[in-house]
Amino acid sequence: MRVAILGAGGFIGYAFVREALRRGMTPVACWGSPGSLVLLARHQMELRPVENLDLSDVDVVVNCAHPFTVRGNRSLEAQTRTLRDNLLASGRPLIHLSTISVYEPFTAGRRPGEDLACSPPASDQYAQSKLRLDRELQQRAGERTLILRPTIVYGPFGRYWTDAFLAAFRAGDVSVPDAGGRVQPVLVDDLARLMADACEHFRPGLYNVGGPEELEWRALFRFWSEVAGGGRFHETGPRPPTRPQRFSELRELARILLDAPPLRRLARPLVQRLPDSLRARFRRALGRPDRPLLVPIAPLPGEAPQVPALPPDLRGLAESGYFSQDRLVDLSRLRADFPDLHPTPLEETRARLGDYCSFRFTDALPT
């Protein structure tokens, strides 16, 4: 079976490449960035650039790609159109990897199924463009399209849900305001196996994809702390509910104005000169959660303790209250139609992720 893979050099795409090779498939890796060739060149497979892409000689197309930013002189919209045109022109069964995150925010207390309708913020260009692509593929190639919407995907070389946590705990203790929300993390290898199963036994449709457990974020934080072997996890607890105030509308207006990028750029030099206590009071007046902190394990000899920032990927989420909310989806359709898929519990990945952490973040050599 010849399988074309767009985004083959990415986190999930490369995991699928390895699974496809293990099963004896013939991958055709379609690349848009030369950086992805570093991984792909390690294997015997055809490498095909996405410019003027012809996919008429493959059996299945797997898309793990989606542009994040402007590349060269091409806008996000232009890159997305090229991707869409390549997928539609193939005429082949298509497995398209989306994500449940662009369908947020969910209705409070609801566990959405595959019929979830959504309207991501207009300011989130990535979510907007990804959602448009999902809908166009459903409308114009629905009879030959399988769309998979995973929850958070973790595993070796996962930037957001693996490396960011390990890097934070390697540097010191991590503290966030509230981590009581629940998630269904899925191991990247399990997602790759599902995609390979779908190649071998294709059926069109739409599926939410999640792991076998519903874990609180605080449990996930503690897991990464133990795997990293560095700092510890601290939770400051949810902020007490505030009583309605007379000027709540004015405060909301101030929040909107202060979040405007031009004003943030102008105000940043001045705000950074203010004492931490004054900045904290100002944030509380606007109803903002406390900033998460990263506390060093110990200062170097002769140096005063420093408080480095959390990695940007985690800091923004913690400040928004992301970890306090449930992000659970209905997986009944996935379990009914893919009964042979047995996702890996988090605890069973501990040894492997520990070895990865040592390789990724230290210079320790195996003995």
Taking Cα atoms as reference points, which of 236, 190, 116 lies closest to residue 340?
Answer: 190
Question: pTM of the predicted model, to two decimals?
Answer: 0.78
Model pLDDT for residues 97-117, shown as the tens digit of each residue? 998 887 776 766 677 777 766
Residue 14 pLDDT level (bands cut at 50, 70, 90): very high
End-to-end CA distance of the chain: 41
- Name the residue with higher pLDDT: 106 or 289: 106
What gap in Å lies between CA 160 and CA 156, rounded to an integer?
A: 11
* CB distance 149 to 207 below 8 Å: yes
CA dihedral 25, 53, 93, 96 (to 10 degrees): 90
Instruction: Find out if CATH 3.40.50.720 is the number for domain 2-160+182-216+326-361.
Output: yes
* Domain definitions of the chain by residue range: 2-160+182-216+326-361, 220-324
Q: What does the block give as tokens for 155?
A: 């595993």
Element (DSSP H or E) covering residue 182: strand 182-183
Inform me whether the pLDDT recorded for 294 exceeds 50.
no
DSSP state letter for 25:
-
For the CA atoms of 207, 208, 211, 213, the dihedral, rounded to the nearest 10 degrees, stands at: -120
Is residue 222 predicted with pLDDT exceeding 70? yes
Q: What angle do CA 353, 357, 359 make, to 5 degrees?
A: 115
pLDDT at position 196 is 96
* Nearest Cα to Cα of residue 36 among 78, 71, 81: 71
How far apart (Å, rounded) are the C-alpha atoms in residues 301 and 80?
51
Q: What is the pLDDT of residues 126-172, one digit of tens each?
A: 778 888 888 888 888 888 999 999 999 999 999 889 999 999 999 88
CB 177 within 8 A of CB 321: yes
pLDDT at 72: 66
